[in-house]
Structure 1
Amino acid sequence: MQAAGGRFLARGMPAQVYEAAVHQRAVLIEFDSVAQATGAHDSPQYQLALKALGNGAERDIRIVEAVE
């Protein structure tokens, strides 16, 4: 993700959860655009990493446009 321009803002277990949130590890990565984030996910490098990792983790990826 960093090689594709992503910047890690947070990663780890939540300090606190509320409402219907699930207490599980989360990673927040910032990209300059939705297109850059989508490109990072769809890149051959990331797809190769996914194959290498296999089913080692259940992934829930969401790309959200920033508030201007």
Structure 2
Amino acid sequence: MADKQSLNSYKDRLEGKERTRYEEKISLIGGRDPYALSKGDLVSDNKCLPSVPSVTYIDIVNYLINTKS
């Protein structure tokens, strides 16, 4: 695994089109660079997760059988 310093400087090492594309991508997630996050920025409380309806047998069948790949 790369060290934290090299991960933080990932965006800084990009140039031109690559940097522009990277900035466009992180704008989709609120502009937070995932490589610059620290453990303190993350939340581990399950109450913060979105509620998901239960998955039934029919849901699985519909997904696996009836969905085009």
With normalisation by structure 2, the TM-score equals: 0.28
With normalisation by structure 1, the TM-score equals: 0.29
Structure with a larger share of its residues in helix: 2
- Specify the structure having the higher radius of gyration (Cα): 2
Structure with a larger share of its residues in strand: 1
